[in-house]
């Protein structure tokens, strides 16, 4: 699973697999939530993000090649010095980003700039809808400029410094502008719906907005693979037809009919490896990064694919929609309760005195960022569970413990992921179980050897 991650590039964990990059479905959901939750998330940021560390600094016998040659259990790797540096500075950046997400909207509010943007917007657009549109464009454009230096450092300079990115500056910059565009278009839709509901129903808008978020999320997931992802990278059929046939055969066993597999040209941006399940209804698909196909051996690719198929078959996209809907509702209710008091207290500085005034948008974004911070551990506890089950599904489907464990090790190395991060990281930033745990599980989970019932065996088309 993956989601679009609109937010920053710093942290990431992809659903699919790696802990170094953010996954598509996740990205979707997060983009969406971020559109609401975080001031100006940049989709591009996450696009250029994962990256691999190519040069392995781990002990020689842990390198993917060596592991691939010897087929035993895979040793849980120690983090290299470089990985630790990347991890620690990443934590600092994460904190800066979270603080930024509170600080920027606060700045718009307390300086009265938000009220001034509203006045300008009212001058541009006469009709209510156009006032909203003009406000959104100005707000996100200013926010983009204020955040550009930070994004340039974390999304470009730092990734190059660690050998994770091979994007040119102009490509990075182009992607960041495209992200801004996606944010503005998506933001207009969301803001327009929310303020219409605030206006029409001052007491229940939080509930109606939460309900309206469900179809919006679905729409977003539906169009993400066909309209949004192709803005950033080229998607096409798999190049390696023999491998594609293997994958389709595996999909068939997993009970997926007519599954579609796409390869995306990510090697232009990164050396990191990843795969994800994306889309919705008839845009649902499994996507492999071309880097994954190039760097992993066939069995490892199949192990990764089996994990993705687990998400597909278990309907994890639906579960995420339900989860995020619930969290959005909680956040909106909190905002509904807190907002009037804040406006009463500071209305002369803010320059507006009711929630339905579009100038209150930064206040909503600020409170959403705060809520997101509080709710993140809940969301991640659940996604870690989903990911763990997808690993279990994958292992039961392939019964190839070594391929799974060594693929995980490979991802750890390529994406400079800390295999064993600290408790705060686990709680607030781990969409996946930490890699050390996943590798241990992949090494040892083999109920088929003792004749135990497989958790997902009944779903497989022709169990062996
Ligand atoms: Zn996953």
Q: Using one digit for the tens of pLDDT, what is the confidence trace for 249-284? A: 999 999 887 778 899 999 988 888 888 888 878 888
CA–centroid distance, residue 431 to ligand 1 (Å): 9
Domain presence at residue 282:
yes
pLDDT tens digits for range 141-187: 999 999 999 999 999 999 999 998 989 999 999 999 999 999 999 99
CA–centroid distance, residue 385 to ligand 1 (Å): 10
User: Locate tokens 């991890």: which residue?
Assistant: 87
Q: Is the pLDDT of residue 41 over 50?
A: no
CA–centroid distance, residue 199 to ligand 1 (Å): 40
CA–centroid distance, residue 454 to ligand 1 (Å): 19
Overall domain count for the chain: 1
CA–centroid distance, residue 117 to ligand 1 (Å): 42
Domain presence at residue 453:
yes
Domain presence at residue 384:
yes
CA–centroid distance, residue 304 to ligand 1 (Å): 9
What 8-state DSSP symbol labels residue 228? I
Domain presence at residue 18:
no
- Distances in Å between the Cα of 6 and the Cα atoms of 3, 31, 117, 174 are 9, 4, 24, 15
CA–centroid distance, residue 122 to ligand 1 (Å): 45
330: confidence class by pLDDT, cuts 50, 70, 90: very high
Domain presence at residue 9:
no
- Of the listed ranges 99-108, 173-182, 315-324, 441-450, the one predicted with least confidence: 315-324
Span 446-462, mean pLDDT? 90
CA–centroid distance, residue 310 to ligand 1 (Å): 8
Domain presence at residue 386:
yes
Q: Is the pLDDT of residue 85 over 50?
A: yes
- Residue 116: its pLDDT value, please? 96
Structure tokens at 106: 């606060």
- Residue 200: its pLDDT value, please? 95
CA–centroid distance, residue 287 to ligand 1 (Å): 12
Name the helix (H) or strand (E) containing 261: strand 261-264
Domain presence at residue 308:
yes
Q: Helix (H, G, I), strand (E, B), or coil: what is residue 304?
A: helix
β-bridge mates for residue 261, sequence order = 286
CA–centroid distance, residue 277 to ligand 1 (Å): 8
- Residue 30: its pLDDT value, please? 43
| Residues shown for the chain | 464
Domain presence at residue 117:
yes
Q: Is the pLDDT of residue 69 over 60?
A: no
Structure tokens at 146: 């204020």
Task: Give the domain range for residue 422.
Answer: 24-459
CA–centroid distance, residue 315 to ligand 1 (Å): 12
CA–centroid distance, residue 191 to ligand 1 (Å): 31
Residues 6+ positions from 129 with CB-CB distance below 8 Å = 192
Rounded-to-integer distance, Cα 97 and Cα 100, Å: 5
Rounded-to-integer distance, Cα 14 and Cα 25, Å: 9
CA–centroid distance, residue 352 to ligand 1 (Å): 44
70: confidence class by pLDDT, cuts 50, 70, 90: low
Rounded-to-integer distance, Cα 455 and Cα 448, Å: 10
CA–centroid distance, residue 307 to ligand 1 (Å): 6
CA–centroid distance, residue 17 to ligand 1 (Å): 5
């Amino acid at each position: 699973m993956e989601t679009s991650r609109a937010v920053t590039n710093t942290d990431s964990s992809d659903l699919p697999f790696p802990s170094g990059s953010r996954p598509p479905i996740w990205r979707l959901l997060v983009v969406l939530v971020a559109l609401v939750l975080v001031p100006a998330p940049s989709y591009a940021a996450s696009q250029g993000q994962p990256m691999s560390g190519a040069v392995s600094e781990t002990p020689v016998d842990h390198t993917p090649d060596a592991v691939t040659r010897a087929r035993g259990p895979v040793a849980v790797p120690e983090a290299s010095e470089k990985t630790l540096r990347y991890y620690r500075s990443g934590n600092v950046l994460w904190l800066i980003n979270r603080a930024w997400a509170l600080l920027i909207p606060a700045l718009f509010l307390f300086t009265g700039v938000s009220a001034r943007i509203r006045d300008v917007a009212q001058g541009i657009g006469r009709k209510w809808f156009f006032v909203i549109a003009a406000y959104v464009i100005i707000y996100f454009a200013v926010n983009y400029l204020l955040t550009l230096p930070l994004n340039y450092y974390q999304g470009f300079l730092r990734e190059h410094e660690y050998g994770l990115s091979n994007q040119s500056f102009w490509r990075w910059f182009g992607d960041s502008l495209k992200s801004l565009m996606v944010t503005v278009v998506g933001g207009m839709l969301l803001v327009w719906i929310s303020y219409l509901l605030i206006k029409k129903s001052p007491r229940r808008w939080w509930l109606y907005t939460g309900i309206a978020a469900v179809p919006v999320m679905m729409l977003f997931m539906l169009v993400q693979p066909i309209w949004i992802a192709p803005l950033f990278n080229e998607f096409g059929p798999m190049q390696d037809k023999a491998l594609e046939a293997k994958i389709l055969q595996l999909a068939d066993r997993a009970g997926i009919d007519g599954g579609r597999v796409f390869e995306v040209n990510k090697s232009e941006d990164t050396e990191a490896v990843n795969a994800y399940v994306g889309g919705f209804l008839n845009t649902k698909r499994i996507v492999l990064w071309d880097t994954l196909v190039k760097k992993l051996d066939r069995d490892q690719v199949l192990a990764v694919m089996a994990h993705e198929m687990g998400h597909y078959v278990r309907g994890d996209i639906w579960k995420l929609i339900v989860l995020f809907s619930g969290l959005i509702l909680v956040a909106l209710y909190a905002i509904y309760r807190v907002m009037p008091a804040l406006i009463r207290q500071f209305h002369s500085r803010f320059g507006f005195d009711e929630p339905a005034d579009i100038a209150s948008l930064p206040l909503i974004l600020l409170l959403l960022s705060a809520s997101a911070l509080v709710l993140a551990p809940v969301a991640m506890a659940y996604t870690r569970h989903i990911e763990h089950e997808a690993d279990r599904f994958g292992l039961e489907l392939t019964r190839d413990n070594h391929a799974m464990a060594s693929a995980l090790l490979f991802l750890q190395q390529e994406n400079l992921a800390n295999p064993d991060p600290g408790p705060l990281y686990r709680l607030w930033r781990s969409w996946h179980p930490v890699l050390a745990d996943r590798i241990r599980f992949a090494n040892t989970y083999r109920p088929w050897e003792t004749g135990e019932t497989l958790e997902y065996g009944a779903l497989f088309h022709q169990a062996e």
